[in-house]
A and B are shown apart, each in its own frame.
Chain A
Amino acid sequence: MTTPQERLRNFSIIAHIDHGKSTLADRLLEVTHTIDPRQMTSQVLDSMDLEREKGITIKARAVRLEYTSSAGLTYGLNLIDTPGHVDFTYEVSRSLQACEGAILVVDAAQGIEAQTLANVFLAMKLDLTIIPVINKIDLPSAQPDVVIEELENVLAIPREEVILASAKEGTGIDAILEAVVARIPPPKGDPKAPLRALVFDSYYDAYKGVVAYVRLEEGRLRSHDGLRLMASGAEFTPLEMGVFRPQLVPVRELVAGEVGYVATGLKSVRDAQVGDTITGASHPAAAPLPGYQAAKSLVFAGIYPISGEDYPLLRDALEKLHLNDASFSFEPESSVALGFGFRCGFLGLLHMEIVQERLEREFALDLIASAPSVEYRVRLVHDGEVLVVDNPSLFPSSGEIEEIEEPWVALSVVTPATYIGTVMDLTRIRRGTFESMEYLDPTRVLMKFEIPLAELIVDYFDQLKSRTQGYASMDYEEIGYRPARLAKLDVLVNGEPVDALSLIVHREEAQAIGRRLAAKLKELIPRQMFEVPIQAAVGSQVVARETVRAMRKNVLAKCYGGDITRKRKLLEKQKEGKQRMKRVGSVEIPQEAFLAVLGMGEE
């Protein structure tokens, strides 16, 4: 089944959440008979439970389609599926680098969204051929003309290139496939040159070792060749290589331009990192391919096992998960309140949530996470040394601090024009500054702001969605550090400081936030057997105080025949619930309390 290089096409699909990427991918698989119709489910490529539940793609995936064009020629199409959330731009850029083209899917009723724009610009920068598709033209609210206009105005896409489709009803699918073979150039690269294959993703398999997803730029990959990873220096003989249909199907050889996988047998993903180049051990290439920028963590939080003895299990789980998702970082830390755990860095809040959920589900762990923080730069008074602090509880005391800097981002928001004021207010109260505004079409605008990342990660995205009834979308990129007037707010529960509840706030807002935080904690900390005071303090100055009153009543009134079993089960459940709490001193604090600091920046 070797396909000549000129009949290979490597492409991605760029789309906003819910604009129909997964449905389109499903349709392409169906039309090309890649999947037995009896095994067809929806969202075929999203195999993780979490992905199906959340309706999003988290991990990039690849699939090989065989397509016979109207001219009667059979092509090998490699579709590299990409995540569609702002947190995963990093994964998107990796996938795009393995392609020569991209299908841009835009919802006929919604139009272009902020993040689609960002990804299209990324694709254009990489010189990819864009195939614009307006999807969901079957919807009564579809306005393909308006969207065509938008594509023309904002992305300079000629209207005659646009394909109208409904992935749901199957219209336009053939036109898309024809465009893929006609417009996207075949991969270049000399099959006779020494092998250079870029690792664009990898995961660990207990039987096959590290399985690397590769794009061959030059040369051939054969099963009996000794291979080497150019950066790590690790050598191996492949156990298996193949293509994605979408399950792994072994082939004897992969040639320049192909996308496929290699089972390396290597035991550590560090030996076959994403971005490394695979070459032949005996005839190595002179230089590796340009790799990827390492993923940069923007959001940091502590992750702790609910019960301390699970710490080694958590460490193993993090190591294993890291093999599959190299974009988060972790290192051991300890907290007075939470015991031993790990400081983890994430691409964003959704990424953090997903990592925590995967750890809990795939490794059966009960975890507690501290509130997310950004990375601050703190310059000290006495020697001008600059500390990088991503954990509020490790902040030096205010007397030692000369200056604090915090990361800022450039934020793009696409919204219906009716919400301009709403978005402006939402961003301003979070210390954002307005930069510019541009009309995409008569009813929708692209707004640009600069805002401290710390203000963004709290719950900006949720607020933006709820205040614009789901219509606005956003994207952001870092623009460096700026000085800030910040202070550390500490929380004392029953007189004891709870380090995991400390947070960094703007100095002028410390008291107001302290009050709201204390009030919120009062709601979240269940009544205990005794009265529990909650205090918020800046340095030694208490700025707010609340009290959780002692528990008065916890009784099951009736206990007759059928109640006995029921009551026992309820008590067992209550007991489990308690086990999901953290004991700080003699007070049981639920997970939600540690996240209470989210959303404190605002009334």
Chain B
Amino acid sequence: MTDRAAPPVALYVHVPFCVSLCPYCDFVVHAGAAARGPRARVDAYVAALLTEIDLRADALDTRFGPPLEPGAPAGRARPALATVYIGGGTPSLLPAVTVGALLDRVRSRFGVAPGAEVTLEVNPGVDDRGDLAGFVAAGVTRVSIGAQSLVSSELRRLGRRHAPGDVGVTVETARRAGAASISLDLLYDVPGQTPASWEGTLRAALALEPDHLSLYALTLDDPEAEGLAGDLGDHLPTTAGARRWRTNARRDQDEDAAAAAYERACDVLAEAGFRRYEISNWARPGHESRHNMAYWERRPHEAVGTGAHAFDGHVRRWNAAALGPYVAALAPAAGSGLEPVLPPGGSEALDEMTALREAAILGLRTDRGLTAEAVAAGPAADALRWAIDHGLAAVGEDGRVRLTRGGALLSNEVFRRIV
């Protein structure tokens, strides 16, 4: 099966710290004393992260040989990374020098190709947007800002600490620092949101002239109920407060309003020159997230940090979400005599059928769609025939099959017929 495996072209680095927890967020995050102040776990975590980068790179060196010099022609051997994504959490809480150290380590152990896309997630708050100029100087080329909404009441309801104005300041600062690409995350189907307030958020976001927009329907799940929060799970248990918040918020969500918000966004953003290149992502030409495209195209990617997911073309692997065991494995106490080892986690080898189904689903998420041949031969054939019959998918002039706008909104109806 190793013949399907290939060296990574992308690297994800997880930074699980935030000033405070947002009640709707499912990501692996620690807040409060763990994130700031004398008892913060950040330094210990960064040390562990650097060690994991080394250990993962050691394994890749053994498996595929050392990384090619940046710029060397990519052949069979291990190419330098095309993209790096530092996500969280709030990685902008890290000092620029720390981000620099992480990127230096990545460069020396993985290689980073010239012109690579290096994304850093940034929170727009005054105390957590961080040293944007320092980040750019350290090598960050793309800034993804967690704006969520540009309406104060919605931000408060979401438990966000920043004000709408902070988003503009952050965009401006990033732009001035020389970030090549700026993205905003926005949420719809938020409790209390109206068609007018959503329109307002969209207009205000466009006025900031971002290069990229990610629009997410607020999704309130319970990873614990999905069985993802066990010892080796990739999620942390949901707090009781968050669970209560979600139960209340769900009552204020509305399927029809959400569908209308999505459709309105499609119109407004298209008019503003943005292309919807994935179900939830819009970009001005040339500003599509190359890192995320690697996920959707199932290209091999490495990942470090708690709860991070990697893929080698055959096996999907993840680190456990728990912070303590992660640090203990990678940064054993001095004098313990223990060698650093890879952290606990899990993996799943994909059989060929699963891989084909996954490829069909991910392909349909993007506007590249699927080739007619891929459809005809693969396990998605019946589902797509059904989708086309119901107007959820269509065959383009280029012969490729894509979801229609209505199909994007009902994509799970198509996908569940594929799995």
Contact = CB atoms under 8 A, between A and B. Distances in A.
Interface of A: 527, 529, 549, 551-562, 564-572, 574-575, 578
B361 A561 contact: no
A529 B219 contact: no
A561 B226 contact: no
Contact of B301 (A549, A557, A561, A572): A561
Interface centre among B258, B259, B262, B419 (most CB of A within 10 A): B419
Nearest to B318: A562
B368 interface: no
Contact of A575 (B318, B358, B416): B416
A569 B308 CA distance: 18
Contacts of A549: 256
Contacts of A575: 416-417, 419
A558 B280 contact: yes
A560 B289 CA distance: 11
B316 interface: yes
Interface residues of B, number: 46
Please classify the interface of chain A as helix (H, G, I), strand (E, B), loop, or mixed, using the class held by over half of its residues: loop
A552 B216 CA distance: 16
Given A553-B262, A561-B12, A569-B226, 19 more contacts: A527-B255, A529-B390, A551-B255, A551-B413, A552-B258, A552-B410, A553-B255, A555-B217, A555-B279, A555-B409, A555-B411, A555-B412, A557-B280, A561-B301, A561-B310, A564-B311, A566-B226, A571-B361, A571-B412
Across the A-B interface, the 6 shortest Cβ-Cβ residue pairs: A552-B259, A557-B216, A562-B309, A561-B309, A554-B412, A553-B259
Contacts of A574: 412, 416
B292 A554 contact: no
Interface string B394-419: 00000000000000111111011111
Contacts of A567: 361, 415
A559 B410 contact: no
B380 to A, nearest CB: 12
Interface string B299-326: 0010100011111000010100000000
B408 A565 contact: no
24 contacts: A529-B390, A529-B413, A549-B256, A551-B255, A551-B413, A552-B255, A552-B258, A552-B259, A552-B410, A553-B259, A555-B408, A559-B280, A559-B365, A561-B301, A561-B308, A564-B311, A564-B358, A565-B316, A566-B226, A568-B354, A571-B412, A571-B415, A572-B419, A574-B412
Contacts of A527: 255
Given A555-B410, A557-B219, A562 B308 contact: yes
A554 to B, nearest CB: 4
Interface string B347-383: 0100000100110011001000000000000000000
A549 to B, nearest CB: 8
Contact of B295 (A556, A559, A566, A569): A559
B296 interface: yes
Contacts of B316: 564-565
A67 to B, nearest CB: 48
A559 B309 CA distance: 12
B288 interface: no
Contact of A554 (B307, B308, B309, B410): B410
Contacts of A578: 416
B235 to A, nearest CB: 9
Interface centre among A552, A555, A565, A571 (most CB of B within 10 A): A555
B228 interface: yes
A568 B295 contact: no
Contacts of B303: 561
Nearest to A530: B390
A117 B334 CA distance: 73
A568 B217 contact: no
B234 interface: yes
A570 B223 CA distance: 11
A566 to B, nearest CB: 7
Contact of A558 (B219, B408, B417, B419): B219
Interface string B199-223: 0000000000000000111010000
Interface in B1-46: 12
B362 A564 contact: yes
Contacts of A571: 361, 412, 415-416, 418-419
Contacts of A529: 390, 410, 413
B219 A553 contact: no
Contact of A562 (B215, B234, B262): B234
A586 to B, nearest CB: 11
A558 B25 CA distance: 12
Contacts of B215: 557
B390 A556 contact: no
A208 B265 CA distance: 70
Interface in B151-178: none
